[in-house]
Structure 1
Amino acid sequence: MEPTTTSKYTAAHLKPNGPGDARPTALQIVRNERREGDLVGKVALITGCSSGLGIETARAMKATGITVFVTARNLDKARDTLGDILDGDQVQLLHLDLESLESVRKCVSDLKARTNKLNVLIENAGIRHVPKGRTKDGFELHWGTNHLSHFLLFELLRPMLLESSAPDFQSRVIIVSSTAHRNGPMDFNDLNWEKRRYDPVLAYGQSKLANVYTASEIERRYGSQGLHAWSVHPGGIRTGLQRPSFSDAMIFVKCGVMATLKVMMNAEQGASTTVWAAVSRELEGRGGKYLERNQISQPVKKGWGLIDPGHVEWAYDEERAKKLYEISLGLVHA
């Protein structure tokens, strides 16, 4: 049976009133789902835990009792910002630089030295609207960081996720995406931005569409084996990821200052959809869809605006998702 698009959290999102309003926080999701202390003995890995959403995701997941491995490129910064989340040995910190495929492989090796189990993989880290640049492996920064490194991370951890899946809690992969997947269809002729004039907004959008495609293709390939995946739009939040840009200013111009401010959330609320995907009982044994506002996304409505919810028609293009998956396997030599 397919999950419905609505959830018990739908009503809280009908009339947003800015950060700290009635929309749930990540910790409230854990409590509402009756998951406090419920996942003891299980293991999660979360990328990008030195600021914003990663910190609040780690805090909420810790409340479930699950053993949490968190990653960061700057370990000193992560220790400082995570603070008491790192108290005890339930939450452990690993180094991961997503601009390097070698670092991804090293992180996986370090994880396997500490555990032989993985039930939840949350690919949260990312960059947004950065100037043109290349990763250590020669990939455009958004493409390499947001998509390819996370793709390789999943592929290397896939056997562990499959082996750890259990009837009462099947393994889950959550990939943080964005409404930016709506910026345009995937351009397979220039995935690495070598032919076109560079556009950081479009480059970011392509990487976020790749996140949506990866989650849906994981579900098609491995869902029947007890490994499920969701892509997630966290919402409008001011974090270290989001630098002021011309495109952000245009959102306020086109959508109105007050309307835009009302849909914004704080980091605790922004992490809630990710955590809902990771712990929801309603979503058990399912996957492959794009989530937002603590529910399964619906198609965009005619005449949709930049701050409106919904996914575009190409988000669930199975042929393109399969094509991207095969290309990505070759690029990372998985």
Structure 2
Amino acid sequence: MSVKPRWNVQDIPDLSGRLALVTGANSGLGLASVVALARKGARVLMACRHPDRAARGRDAALAQVPEAAERLEIVSLDLTSLDSVRTCARTILERFDRLDILMNNAGIMAIPRGLTADGFEIQFGTNHLGHFALTGLLLPLLLQTPASRVVTVTSAAAEFGVIDFDDLMGEKRYRRWSAYSQSKLANLLFAVELQRRLSLSGYSTISLAAHPGIAATNLQRASMAAEASKFQIASLKGFLSIAQTADQGALPQLYAATDPQAEPGGFYGPRGFLQMKGSPAQIPLRLNRRGRDEATRRRLWEVSEALIGFRYPLADS
């Protein structure tokens, strides 16, 4: 079903009584999503790694939505540590009896090679495996919440991604942009495969994917700060000159998370030229033909389960 051409945050329905969890909620797309969800009445858990940054993000959100003071809460989550992911999920499962929206938003982009606490290449480990583990651990709560949604934020960089099963962790060869694209393709494949398995299992929970187009966030600055040539710095300045704001970039993931017309397994991004800017539109999975490759999706799922050490309670055939 098509999205109306000028969909914006005013079109988000009333979310009173709903619980949302947003990862990477202290800045950028995550913070914009927190503000929009809270403004419509949701209780929002801001899942963040750094306490100080999280507190500043909450203050920034409350400056825009002061009436949400009792509905915005910080929860500790470090996606580079499976122990932290397990602790976060256990806390939420113990405290809440529903979870309406899980927005897998946090990410890192094109940084030098590093390892997570569990020995995974840091971009694949953070962007994909951390969210894969978090979603699986929170699945019991999602499944008992009628019509709950999992929204996984990917990137147009998925178009260039290849899942290198022979070198997932970049041990043989590491190129930071290739590693980033692989992790973003993994996000897309996960979202599609999760919907397939939810449908097979007969649950009302749905999985969707979204990408922001070109949006100015801390991701670009962090990437350039980590390792940048003069050319890359100049490119960043050019990028920022044409980028839309984080508020605009968050619209596709907000549509996926809240609109009654969003379709199970749907993929949403900007409707403008080359999907760079604009209000949300549904994007065919031709964004990357690998997104339609069921064999790759199933293999990635199985490998991911082996790496995180547990299996999802969902049918696969």
Shift of 1:66: 1.6
Q: Which residue of 1 aligns with 2:119?
A: 138
Q: Which residue of 1 aligns with 2:251?
A: 272
Task: State the TM-score, normalized to the length of structure 2.
Answer: 0.85
Q: Does 1:7 align with 2:3?
A: yes
Q: Which residue of 1 aligns with 2:42?
A: 66
Alignment of 1:185-224 (within 5 A): 185-195=162-172, 197-223=173-199, 224=202
On the 8 A contact 2:46/2:54 being kept in 1, the answer is no
Q: Does 1:236 align with 2:214?
A: yes
Quote the RMSD (CA, aligned, Å): 2.4
Structure 2 Cα separation of the partners of residues 212 and 247 of structure 1: 32
Structure 2 Cα separation of the partners of residues 227 and 318 of structure 1: 21
Query: Secondary structure in 1 aligned to 2:264?
Result: coil
Structure 2 Cα separation of the partners of residues 111 and 91 of structure 1: 14
Shift of 1:248: 8.7
Amino acid at match of 2:118: D
Bigger helix share: 2
Structure 1 Cα separation of the partners of residues 231 and 213 of structure 2: 14
Q: Which residue of 1 aligns with 2:281?
A: 295
Q: Which residue of 2 aligns with 1:326?
A: 302
Structure 2 Cα separation of the partners of residues 157 and 248 of structure 1: 43
Shift of 1:247: 11
Q: Percent identity?
A: 35
Query: Secondary structure in 2 aligned to 1:45?
Result: strand
Gaps of 5+ in 1: 13-23, 301-310
Query: Secondary structure in 2 aligned to 1:265?
Result: coil
Q: Which has the higher contact order (CA 8 A, sep 6+)?
A: 1
Q: Does 1:102 align with 2:83?
A: yes
Shift of 1:125: 0.4
Q: Given the superposition, is the C-alpha separation of residues 247 and 318 from structure 1 closer, same or farther in structure 2, using an over 3 Å criterion?
A: farther
Shift of 1:88: 2.3
1:173 to 130, 141, 150: 150
On the 8 A contact 2:23/2:48 being kept in 1, the answer is yes
Q: Given the superposition, is the C-alpha separation of residues 184 and 112 from structure 1 closer, same or farther in structure 2, using an over 3 Å criterion?
A: closer
Gaps of 5+ in 2: 63-67, 271-279, 311-317
Alignment of 1:14-163 (within 5 A): 28-29=8-9, 31-33=10-12, 35=13, 38-83=14-59, 85=61, 88-163=69-144
Query: Secondary structure in 1 aligned to 2:183?
Result: helix
Structure 2 Cα separation of the partners of residues 247 and 202 of structure 1: 20
Shift of 1:84: 5.5
Shift of 1:239: 1.1
Query: Secondary structure in 1 aligned to 2:124?
Result: helix
Query: Secondary structure in 2 aligned to 1:126?
Result: coil
Amino acid at match of 1:146: N
Structure 2 Cα separation of the partners of residues 251 and 84 of structure 1: 30
Shift of 1:81: 2.6
Amino acid at match of 1:181: A
Q: Given the superposition, is the C-alpha separation of residues 299 and 68 from structure 1 closer, same or farther in structure 2, using an over 3 Å criterion?
A: closer
Q: Given the superposition, is the C-alpha separation of residues 133 and 287 from structure 1 closer, same or farther in structure 2, using an over 3 Å criterion?
A: same
On the 8 A contact 2:161/2:184 being kept in 1, the answer is no
Structure 2 Cα separation of the partners of residues 108 and 184 of structure 1: 29
Structure 2 Cα separation of the partners of residues 250 and 90 of structure 1: 39
Structure 2 Cα separation of the partners of residues 73 and 155 of structure 1: 19
Q: Given the superposition, is the C-alpha separation of residues 250 and 241 from structure 1 closer, same or farther in structure 2, using an over 3 Å criterion?
A: closer
Shift of 1:185: 2.5
Shift of 1:261: 4.3
Structure 2 Cα separation of the partners of residues 247 and 217 of structure 1: 40
Query: Secondary structure in 1 aligned to 2:151?
Result: strand
Structure 2 Cα separation of the partners of residues 210 and 276 of structure 1: 21
Structure 2 Cα separation of the partners of residues 117 and 247 of structure 1: 49
On the 8 A contact 2:21/2:44 being kept in 1, the answer is yes
Q: Given the superposition, is the C-alpha separation of residues 123 and 329 from structure 1 closer, same or farther in structure 2, using an over 3 Å criterion?
A: same
Query: Secondary structure in 2 aligned to 1:236?
Result: coil
Shift of 1:232: 1.1
Structure 1 Cα separation of the partners of residues 258 and 166 of structure 2: 38
Task: State the TM-score, normalized to the length of structure 1.
Answer: 0.81
Query: Secondary structure in 2 aligned to 1:237?
Result: coil
Q: Given the superposition, is the C-alpha separation of residues 122 and 248 from structure 1 closer, same or farther in structure 2, using an over 3 Å criterion?
A: farther
